[in-house]
Each structure stands twice: as C-alpha cells, then as structure tokens.
Amino acid sequence: MGKLSKIVLIVVSENGKKVLFKVKDHSVSGEEFHLLEHKKYGYLKTIPKPPLGKLGEYYQTENYISHTDSRRNLFEKVYHAIRKVSLKRKLNLINSFELEGKRLLDFGSGTGDFLKTAQSNGWNVAGIEPNEAARGIANSKTNSSVFESKYLNTFEKKSFDVITLWHVLEHVPDLEEKIAVLKSLLKPNGVLLIAVPNHKSYDAIYYKEFWAAYDVPRHLWHFDQKSISNLFYSISMTVESTNPMFFDSYYVSLLSEKYKSGRMKVFKAFRSGFMSNYKAKSSGEYSSLIYVLKNS
C-alpha cells in the first residue's frame, strides 16, 4: 500500500476550533457533518449535533445491524459469525477479573446476545437499551432483563461488579453526565469496560472521511487512547489496560470500501484490515479497543 500520510487537522476553521474534515452520513440521510476537536479532552465531536428528539431518526434503517438479528445477505451472515467469536472473547474477559460477585450491567444491550451469553454462564445480568425493537428481542433472550433508558437511575448505587459498553459510548448524547452515573453504579473495586472505535488507527487514517466507524451522526464522539484517558480521569477513573478488537478492522474496512467506491471490494478491504492490525502490533492503535477502567 505504500506509505500512509497522516491526516492534518485544521482543514476548516469554525469558531476558532479545530476541524478535521467533513463526513457524510452514508447510511440514512446523506447529510454532511464536521468533526471538531474537543478542547478539554481531545476527542472529536460531530457537528452539528442532532437535537435529541431527532436523533432517533438516524437509526431508522434496516441496515443498522446491531438493532436486528437479520441474516439477509452474506455480509450480515459474516457479521453474526464473527459476533459469536467476539461474544466468547468478551465472556472470557469479564470472567478474568477477580471480583466480589458476578453482577453485570450492559449499557446499550442491542439485541441482547452478550447478556444472554453472560447469563448462561452464571452472571446476574441487567441491561439498558433505548431502542424499543432491539429491547424486545433482547428481553426474549434474557428473561426480561433489559430496560429502557430511564430505568438506569433506579439501580442501586455501587451494586455492579462489571459495567460494559460495547460500541455504545460514541452514541451517548449526554456523555459526561452518563459516565458519572455509570461510575456511581459500580462497586469500588468494580470494572468498567468501554469498547470504541479508534480514529488514530491505520484504517481510519487510510479511509479518512470514508472511514465507516465515523458513522455520523449516530456516532457523536470519536475517541483515541489519550482522549479516553482524559475523559475518565475527570471522574477519577484510570485505564488499567487495553484489549484489541481484531475483527473490527476488517468489518470497518469492508464498509469503508463501499462508501468510497460504491462496492464492497473484499480483497482491498481484507488488505486494509490486515495492514491495520499488523501496524497496530507496534503502535497499539487498533481499529477498535476495549478499555479496562477502574476507580483510581
């Protein structure tokens, strides 16, 4: 592929803030959004941020795969096959911690497969899922253990051993408020797991505005390792370790090729995904990372 040049910030100036570039909503609206650097924490913000009442409209598509269990084509079948492997790895990760108990909260449960896997392996589970259709599917799998968003504030403080957000934090409108609430629900020695895309990865730099993991405006925030550390340091939590999500580079590259050329170029996507993981062996900048966070 040759050498890859770094993205240079400050392409556009908007109210004195750094703008990375314009990114199109390829999934639903076709609208364009700016990515601005947050001055305090360093993550990128999607601008304009859709009003809360309108945000749900950007999820109204059958192609939003995490809200359905559909297997209509090869792409969706591959997604679900990979998800089975990922679920085993997630279960192994939460089982690896030395904890007082096995009470788990999954924030943004989607269709409930992770909760079902954990519940089947001895975990006492609860989930939060704002999407009604996905929540219904999740409850059919977990003995009605998944609730709508407003239920979050009814949980007992310091009652969960593990809280997970699997590719959810980037969707949360009230970011700082929500992480403070989640911290309050975690036991003092509990673990918070955050999985998010990494815009410093090779595939992000390679695809630039076509990088599928920007997914504006559903993704309101775009993180790297430094910005995650900065954000959670503000609520006295520290990153203990990170874990790569190897499959994400391939999945994201496949979608990125589609956005860039109009076709899913499987060979090119595989090459980009492979290169991203290969380069991340030395840099640590995988396409997506799981952050293990604890109270400091």
* Structure confidence by residue, pLDDT tens digits, 216-241: 999 999 999 999 999 999 999 999 99
pLDDT in tens, 173-220: 999 999 999 999 999 999 999 999 999 999 999 999 999 999 999 999
Q: Which residues of 222-261 are buried (b: 16+ CB within 10 A; e: fewer)?
A: bbbbebbbbbbeebebebeeebbbbbbbbbbbbbbbbbbe
- What does pTM read for this prediction? 0.89
Q: Average pLDDT for residues 14-39, to the nearest whole number?
A: 83
Give the C-alpha separation, 99 to 115, whole Å: 18
Contacting residues for 45 by C-beta, under 8 A, at least 6 apart: 35, 36, 37, 38, 220, 221, 222
Lowest-pLDDT range of 69-73, 201-205, 271-275, 284-288: 69-73
Mean pLDDT is lowest, of 14-28, 122-136, 254-268, 274-288, for 14-28
Computed over its alpha carbons, how large is the radius of gyration of the chain? 18
Binned at pLDDT 50, 70 and 90, residue 246 comes out as very high
Positive/negative CA dihedral, 244, 56, 173, 215: positive
Number of helices (H), then strands (E), in the chain: 9, 12
Greatest distance between any 2 Cα atoms in the chain? 54
Mean pLDDT, the chain, rounded, equals 90
Q: Tell me, what's the pLDDT at 69? A: 57
| 115: confidence class by pLDDT, cuts 50, 70, 90 | very high
* pLDDT at residue 82, as a whole number: 75
Higher pLDDT, residue 191 or 78: 191
pLDDT of residue 90: 97
15-29, 141-155, 160-174, 257-271: least confidently modelled range: 15-29
4, two tokens: 């890859």
Q: Is the pLDDT score of 14 beyond 50?
A: no
pLDDT of residue 161: 98
Helix axes 175-185, 225-233, angle to 10 degrees: 70
Average pLDDT over residues 129-143: 95
Instruction: Domains for the chain: give ranges and CATH numbers.
Output: 12-295 (3.40.50.150)
Contact 295, 186 (CB under 8 A): yes
